[in-house]
Structure 1
Amino acid sequence: MGRGIVCECAGASACPDGSNNGTCTTQVNGYCFATVEEVETEAGLVELERTAGCLPPDESGFMQCKSSQVPHRHPKVIECCNESDLCNRRLQPRLPTYLSDTEPPGLEPAGDAGGGPQPSLLVAAALGVALVAFLAAALLLCRRRRRAGKRPPSPPHPHPHPAAAEISSGSGSGLPLLVQRTVAKQIQMVESIGKGRYGEVWLARWRGERVAVKVFFTTEEASWFRETEIYQTVLMRHENILGFIAADIKGTGSWTQMLLITDYHERGSLHDYLQTAVLDPPALLAMAYSVVSGLAHLHMDIFGTKGKPAIAHRDIKSKNILVKRNGQCAIADFGLAVRFVAERDEVDIAPNTRVGTRRYMAPEVLAETLQVTDFEAFKMADMYSLGLVLWEMCRRCAAGDRAQQVEPYALPYHDVVPSDPSFDDMHAVVVAKGMRPPLPSRWARTPALGALAALMAECWHHNPPVRLTALRVKKTLAKFHADCDVKLV
């Protein structure tokens, strides 16, 4: 297929591509979809709602096309097609009659006699499956209890998000997929709190909790899909990585929204926080340690049956790091991330037209010499960007009574490139001239600032193999903490 296909956009008054003719156009190899689901009105009545629209490539599996999705309360059926323009006009998904509140199980609907398996047989089969599942769960529970009796109990570990803990999948990667698909209808948007090149971030409420909802532009389907894919990686959850709750595609009847729902941190991004905050050395070290801990977990591969692949971020910057209430940080925005697939010994790079932030690009990225088949090269590019973030943080650290000497907040290379530097601007400074951000002389007089200055200089070294790894930086900061008795976390 050389182009996208045209799809019906149900109730189309504002379709994603901006047309007003009730259609939208997919990307190459995209899908048209139609859904029918039960929705509850404000009056408490249950109605059937049909929506239709466009899906990006590879979404058919995620949305479980041509299958019935049956949450506890309101069933939903999704069907997809991509054989011709407007193919979803003929799609008329139907809810299974035995799931309807008005059709009790065991009664055959009129007009369906002899047309398929009897509902009573389906009910019997379902009961048999449920019985097998119950016995399997009971056996698994007994085995776990026997194992637990052989080892000392672990200390309690708080879940990053109370609501997510309630129905977590257990993999550490957010809610079960079926539950995720019902979340969008339970979200109440409160206010817009930020905009970027990918879309807009909203403060919202879900089950009484404050959450952040990232609403992607329709042109950023690849970023939404990639970020969802990365967040759902097994063992991805970490206290210094933004807590993922759910991803959903929400059809409003006239257009489609791609949502990413995460924990909400009221202090905002590190970039915004440093504009006004002044850090003392312990706070600086704790914040730096939390950032590098998150990056070390991301870069780490965990082997095993349910292992975690090594992941490189590719867009580390202060705007993609959030500040938590306890002063630690959480790394966010994984729309550009790449994974290393150890089984195939290859780098999994998402088909994404976005590039990283030019100001934070490593010399080898600017010089276009980065070896895209070498996963270590992506990790070392992350380390260069981390060095620049540490520089931003150190400028806002006051030592003793010398608070007046704190440098004003500034972005890296603020004094040598424009506010929105081009690729050539950054290449001329970072590659051609080999410049790096200046280190104020006062930093050498404060142990914490001096230690971080030495680390950042090794992180942004021109030669990638010479740069420190995230784990090495983390261990160095931990040793500094032990030697100086500075509380890091």
Structure 2
Amino acid sequence: MTLGIFRRGLLMLLVALGLTRGDLAKPSKLVNCTCENPHCKRPICQGAWCTVVLVREQGRHPQVYRGCGSLNEELCLGRPTEFVNHHCCYKSFCNHNVSLMLEATQTPSKEPEVDLPLILGPVLALLVLVALGALGLWRVRRRQEKQRGLHSDLGESSLILKTSEQGDSMLGDFLDSDCTTGSGSGLPFLVQRTVARQVALVECVGKGRYGEVWRGLWHGESVAVKIFSSRDEQSWFRETEIYNTVLLRHDNILGFIASDMTSRNSSTQLWLITHYHEHGSLYDFLQRQTLEPQLALRLAVSAACGLAHLHVEIFGTQGKPAIAHRDLKSRNVLVKSNLQCCIADLGLAVMHSQSSDYLDIGNNPRVGTKRYMAPEVLDEQIRTDCFESYKWTDIWAFGLVLWEIARRTVINGTVEDYRPPFYDMVPNDPSFEDMKKVVCVDQQTPTIPNRLTADPVLSGLAQMMRECWYPNPSARLTALRIKKSLQKLSHNPEKSKVIH
């Protein structure tokens, strides 16, 4: 009897904490759900259904937990008990705005029997969470004290945002590696929700097919808020998933702060909050700015460093899988205040781990930007089961970004206006068939200006572009080779060549 009571209490606790998710079973059809409980690793989860659980203990306020379920569907039909009421639904995010009322059952004729295992399970779990919270707060304060003496020594390579006029950066304190999630990529989940709900939107700084980008303020600091449209939910989900599960913190990858689903103007908005860079995208920067050869090289080297970090797999408990971007272009590369680049927009990214040989493609139907598609993508010959194939398409696109940079570089007093790749071969908004004819049938690549040969830096960039555009994908340079060659070019431009 006691064993049966304990099993029932344990199962109820699992439901309350949202642990009966897809990792316990493999449901045939998954839905996305709001995840709000102490065990959530991100603001959304996937399961066979969505759950809302209301738990009340004597002398405490009721607690509402939201999550996903994949096992024991009969619990969805169970009646309320003295400690818990629960609700299940079967559409994406159907548990986001559900409220539950607890109807406590009473036993009027005798003293209620105390099911100790049923009570002690949730109580012990809450005590552990309180202890962990206190430990986390102590570590945050300890790191804040250390950071006051370190800010003057930390440059662009640190994880800390610029110090605000009012004092030390609050986001910097939160983003220190000791108090981030296990991924080291963003804020702890509960802090993410706090930050997201305290951000004030100031101005819209960009629009695209995904939605809008706003400059926001959080305690006096500028942050970027990417607001996804409802039709691009999969991109928001994918970026949130990648940022929350892998170690992406790097100078040349856009810094992630938080992800949240919030209600504004009677509608649900999907937010991704990142560092803010006032120069905007490389595409915008090149429209306004001509470049000296050394600045062109600085932009190219930093972008290559970001791509190489994405592509490499880091092994170990604090490692990361290899990642291919799949939508690399000048609009998805941002220019920082120190005139280095960082790579953004991971909504189409693909992940791969050698140890498990697992290729995670996601389920976003978008396939990238047609103007930047490699020939094997346009003629639909890409091996979708091979991770290297996706890295090779990134290299093709990186060569096009180098071409955009090179055109805007001043050599002997001459420079060209900004133009997108293939501007003289396809319409402004080319179709898939337009690009396929030019790239696959005619085997065209952008024209490299002859004037680039007059400068050793630009001559090296021109050679690199050609080796990014080989029709045979496996013959193209790797991101690591591009990075090393560009770094060598910056140290000794007269003698440097692209090394195989």
Question: Under a length normalisation based on structure 1, what TM-score does the superposition of the two structures give?
Answer: 0.73
Residue 394, structure 1, aligned to residue 410, structure 2: no
Specify the alignment match of 2:334 in structure 1: 322
Q: Please point out which of 260, 278, 290 is paired with 1:248.
A: 260
CA shift in 2, pair 1:32/1:419, >3 Å: same
2:263/2:269 contact within 8 Å kept: yes
CA shift in 2, pair 1:466/1:232, >3 Å: same
- Counterparts of 1:188-227 in structure 2 under 5 Å? 188-227=200-239
SS of residue paired to 1:202: strand
2:35/2:43 contact within 8 Å kept: no
Specify the alignment match of 2:174 in structure 1: 167
Q: In structure 2, what is the Cα distance between the partners aligned to 1:78 and 1:253?
A: 23
Residue 465, structure 1, aligned to residue 480, structure 2: no
Letter in 1 for 2:66: I
Q: In structure 2, what is the Cα distance between the partners aligned to 1:388 and 1:437?
A: 8
Residue 283, structure 1, aligned to residue 290, structure 2: no
Letter in 1 for 2:171: A
SS of residue paired to 1:426: helix
SS of residue paired to 1:418: coil
Specify the alignment match of 1:432 in structure 2: 441
CA shift in 2, pair 1:65/1:240, >3 Å: farther
Mark the runs of 5 or more structure 1 residues left unpaired by the alignment.
Answer: 1-27, 37-54, 69-73, 98-111, 141-154
Q: In structure 1, what is the Cα distance between the partners aligned to 2:247 and 2:92?
A: 41
- Counterparts of 1:330-409 in structure 2 under 5 Å? 330-399=342-411, 402-403=412-413, 405-409=414-418
Q: In structure 1, what is the Cα distance between the partners aligned to 2:126 and 2:95?
A: 34
SS of residue paired to 1:167: helix
SS of residue paired to 2:298: helix
**C-alpha deviations, 1:304-334, integer Å up to 9, x for none?**
1221100000000000001111110110000
CA shift in 2, pair 1:90/1:230, >3 Å: closer
Deviation at 1:230, TM superposition (A): 1.4
Q: Matched residue pairs, number?
A: 403
2:34/2:43 contact within 8 Å kept: no
**C-alpha deviations, 1:159-199, integer Å up to 9, x for none?**
25344331231642110112112222101011111111111
Specify the alignment match of 1:483 in structure 2: 492
CA shift in 2, pair 1:478/1:182, >3 Å: same
Which piece of structure 1 moves more, 252-261 or 409-418? 252-261
Residue 304, structure 1, aligned to residue 316, structure 2: yes
Q: In structure 1, what is the Cα distance between the partners aligned to 2:330 and 2:359?
A: 26
**C-alpha deviations, 1:232-268, integer Å up to 9, x for none?**
2332111000000000011348321110000010111
Q: In structure 2, what is the Cα distance between the partners aligned to 1:64 and 1:477?
A: 52
Q: In structure 2, what is the Cα distance between the partners aligned to 1:300 and 1:243?
A: 18
2:235/2:348 contact within 8 Å kept: yes
CA shift in 2, pair 1:447/1:86, >3 Å: closer
1:336/1:354 contact within 8 Å kept: yes
Q: In structure 2, what is the Cα distance between the partners aligned to 1:135 and 1:321?
A: 39
Specify the alignment match of 1:444 in structure 2: 453
Q: In structure 1, what is the Cα distance between the partners aligned to 2:122 and 2:32?
A: 33
Q: In structure 2, what is the Cα distance between the partners aligned to 1:254 and 1:65?
A: 21
- Counterparts of 1:93-172 in structure 2 under 5 Å? 93=100, 125=124, 129=128, 158-161=158-161, 162-168=169-175, 169=180, 171-172=183-184
Higher RCO structure (Cα 8 Å, ≥6 apart): 1
CA shift in 2, pair 1:464/1:122, >3 Å: closer
Letter in 1 for 2:481: R
**C-alpha deviations, 1:92-122, integer Å up to 9, x for none?**
3469x9xxxxxxxxxxxxxx9878779x979
1:67/1:79 contact within 8 Å kept: no
Q: In structure 1, what is the Cα distance between the partners aligned to 2:306 and 2:235?
A: 21
1:211/1:261 contact within 8 Å kept: yes
Letter in 2 for 1:166: D
Which piece of structure 1 moves more, 373-382 or 182-191? 182-191
Deviation at 1:478, TM superposition (A): 1.4
Question: Under a length normalisation based on structure 2, what TM-score does the superposition of the two structures give?
Answer: 0.72
Q: In structure 2, what is the Cα distance between the partners aligned to 1:85 and 1:283?
A: 47
CA shift in 2, pair 1:78/1:381, >3 Å: same
Identity %: 47
**C-alpha deviations, 1:409-456, integer Å up to 9, x for none?**
000000010000000000100010110111111100111110000001
1:77/1:93 contact within 8 Å kept: no
Letter in 1 for 2:454: R
Q: In structure 2, what is the Cα distance between the partners aligned to 1:327 and 1:35?
A: 39
Q: In structure 1, what is the Cα distance between the partners aligned to 2:487 and 2:35?
A: 54
CA shift in 2, pair 1:270/1:128, >3 Å: closer
Letter in 1 for 2:335: V
CA shift in 2, pair 1:389/1:86, >3 Å: closer
**C-alpha deviations, 1:379-420, integer Å up to 9, x for none?**
010000000000000001113xx33x2011000000010000
**C-alpha deviations, 1:347-370, integer Å up to 9, x for none?**
210101112000000000001000
Q: In structure 2, what is the Cα distance between the partners aligned to 1:172 and 1:133?
A: 18
CA shift in 2, pair 1:124/1:75, >3 Å: closer
Letter in 1 for 2:206: G
Letter in 2 for 1:446: D
Q: In structure 2, what is the Cα distance between the partners aligned to 1:463 and 1:281?
A: 30
CA shift in 2, pair 1:183/1:89, >3 Å: closer
Residue 414, structure 1, aligned to residue 415, structure 2: no
Specify the alignment match of 2:108 in structure 1: none
Q: In structure 2, what is the Cα distance between the partners aligned to 1:188 and 1:294?
A: 30
Mark the runs of 5 or more structure 2 residues left unpaired by the alignment.
Answer: 1-28, 56-61, 69-87, 105-110, 140-152, 162-168, 496-500
CA shift in 2, pair 1:247/1:57, >3 Å: closer
SS of residue paired to 2:262: strand
Letter in 1 for 2:309: H
